Structure 1
Amino acid sequence: MEIVKKRHIIPTKFRRSLRKDVRGFTSKLDEFWNFFEEQYLLSLRERMTKISKNGVPREPAIGEVVLIHENCPRGSWKLGRVLSLKTSVDGKKRNAQLQNKEN
């Protein structure tokens, strides 16, 4: 059995202040993440559309790193590298074989 010494006890005032600071930090982090997701990624998408020919979205290339699923909690987006592209009957590449950390 371990003896609890005075130096192990966190003063109540400090504990409350720490909790408040953590909540504030988490709130600011959520605000930043929402801004990043909504504004920054949207502007990147729009920029890439303007850069690509005639506003037609560019198809991913083999070896390129792509976002696998974007509707995930903050900081847990999955990325993958394109190994091969499969052409559909209309000639567009709609499927890809990807490699990620798990495989």
Structure 2
Amino acid sequence: GADANKAWHAVRRDAKKHRSPNAGWPEAAMAGALGLALAGPRFYGGVLVDDVFMGEGGRREADSLDIRQALKLYRVADYLLIALFGLVSVVVIVVT
């Protein structure tokens, strides 16, 4: 249910707008992949934090299905990263 093209588009467009130089990348990617608008204006401890939105999800709030899809996408990305490092480790061992 995730859209890789929209994820890349959201990262290129929105990641640099995030107040954190690190958090903008995964947050924008997840927003684009799942068709959500994440971040944006919100309240923390009764104080309004006026941030920009990541993604183009029509400003709808994430529901439980979105959270399940995000966790599934996270697990897939994690497995791919583990596989990549495993492959790199094997190549390094074989080459040395």
TM-score where L is the length of structure 1:
0.29
Q: Per chain length, whose mean CA-contact separation is higher, i.e. which structure has more relative contact order (CA < 8 Å, sep 6+)?
A: 2
Q: Which has the larger radius of gyration?
A: 1
TM-score normalized with structure 2 length: 0.31
More strand by share: 1
Bigger helix fraction: 2
